[in-house]
Structure 1
């Protein structure tokens, strides 16, 4: 009888955990730096590492989420070019991204071109296509979905866990019938992979980011495009940036 009384609280605690639908996910953010180089930048492959990794965190619930960097994603790399010592700094801007799924809105605060912006706009669902494939990611059964980004022409592959009912996901990826645990952009150019999930009550971690100049998503896209054109930089500004200083 004593064993029965000990077993009942064990069952109740595990049922409570199973029903808990909020918590924290730590992702590894991995970028293939060589794939991001243009055809006229092939010579830089010998100067920079092929991959850059960093850590991001997602706080999620069925109705809201907050996604942010959790480490200083910058690194100096010293190399030699033509007998000269060159220092490269790899930098990805800080991004704090809040989503409200019930109100269908998002707020993102990010640094770009030395300025801080607060982007506020409506959430738009990506045209996901469901694929009859599955795999396990850190213990969760995940299903596959894909879509092609019309702007960048890149294929997005996502894996989501239906056991987690929040439609949240890393960075700008969301809107599936389960939380997204992995995203692969353009055949490995960028990969987000969940490394740890902790189901727990969220107390104040999901918050509206503040500060910066308020703009819409369309206005921020134009600011990015104008800056890239002026600087002669290829890409959409979402990946790591490389700053070169010659000593």
Structure 2
């Protein structure tokens, strides 16, 4: 075969074309996978000011502490999940050290299975709570809904979830300014959310819409990669396009759907039980 090919230029030409075509197919397949923007993870760094306790000794005007957290948003096939690395308050985690005012002593009720955009496990104090601040939370990207989820610490077999629609911000001012964040071209806008002004950078180069805080999408579509107010900020450090296991971003099989009001009542009841145990009742 080798001898015939060497003596026949036409066979050599066809063989070369075949090998080249195979190489191009392999390369195209690899490139197509690398360019799949529907699955991957976005790593955010979050900074939030915590009100100072002003603990006596003339230190009433102590500066607010800043807590730094890392969040990871996994997305695939129209679903998403936000995971938050819990800060080590006991070890002085974040900036400023010490347990911040408003952070619960011990794990919050339902800890680990996630908190909603407003109800759960976030910082008390100024402005909206960051979505999933101390736990995990889910997003229905296809239908533009945040999903609050809560597992009873008194009965781990009881898990509940409630849906919250994406909400529109107020006083949106679009600009012509752009910059790259984590490799993506972003537009700049300013807007108001609960009387707090944010500067937002968002990209429309990803095929879904998402923001770590509900109400920060300036045009109703796009992915917010950075936002900053006077009290908090978050910035995407990396967007890694890669396969994500469907099980990772799926709600627990035993989760029961309830209304937002019902979920608040369930959380409130469990928090009261938690505080009672803390007080020795």
Residues 95, 108 of structure 1: 8 Å contact kept: no
Q: Which residue of 2 aligns with 1:28?
A: 45
1:206-217 matches, within 5 Å, as 206-208=249-251, 216-217=259-260
Residues 160, 177 of structure 1: 8 Å contact kept: no
Q: Which residue of 2 aligns with 1:76?
A: 90
| Distance of aligned partners of 1:50 and 1:89 in 2 relative to their CA distance in 1, 3 Å threshold | closer
1:90-169 matches, within 5 Å, as 90=100, 91=103, 93=121, 94-109=134-149, 118-127=160-169, 129=172, 130-149=174-193, 152-169=194-211
| Distance of aligned partners of 1:224 and 1:118 in 2 relative to their CA distance in 1, 3 Å threshold | closer
Residues 45, 69 of structure 2: 8 Å contact kept: yes
Q: Is 202-211 or 50-59 further displaced after alignment?
A: 202-211
Residues 185, 203 of structure 2: 8 Å contact kept: yes
The Cα of 1:26 is off from its aligned counterpart by 1.2
Query: 2: distance between equivalents of 1:45 and 1:110?
Result: 37
Alpha-carbon deviations, 1:135-171, whole Å to 9, x = none? 111211111233312xx31123322221112102224
Alpha-carbon deviations, 1:93-126, whole Å to 9, x = none? 33322121334443213599x9998450341322
Alpha-carbon deviations, 1:201-225, whole Å to 9, x = none? 2212212257899764456678999
Residues 24, 199 of structure 1: 8 Å contact kept: yes
| Distance of aligned partners of 1:108 and 1:74 in 2 relative to their CA distance in 1, 3 Å threshold | farther
Between structure 1 and structure 2, the one with the greater Rg is 2
Alignment of 1:50 with 2:65, yes or no, is yes
Gaps of at least 5 residues in structure 1 are 79-86, 226-247
**RMSD of the TM alignment (CA)?**
4.4
Alignment of 1:60 with 2:104, yes or no, is no
The Cα of 1:57 is off from its aligned counterpart by 0.9
Aligned residue pairs, count: 213
Tell me the TM-score normalized by structure 1: 0.65
Q: Which residue of 2 aligns with 1:203?
A: 245
Relative CO higher for 1 or 2, CA cutoff 8 Å, sep ≥ 6?
1
Greater share of residues in strand: 1
Residues 66, 97 of structure 1: 8 Å contact kept: yes
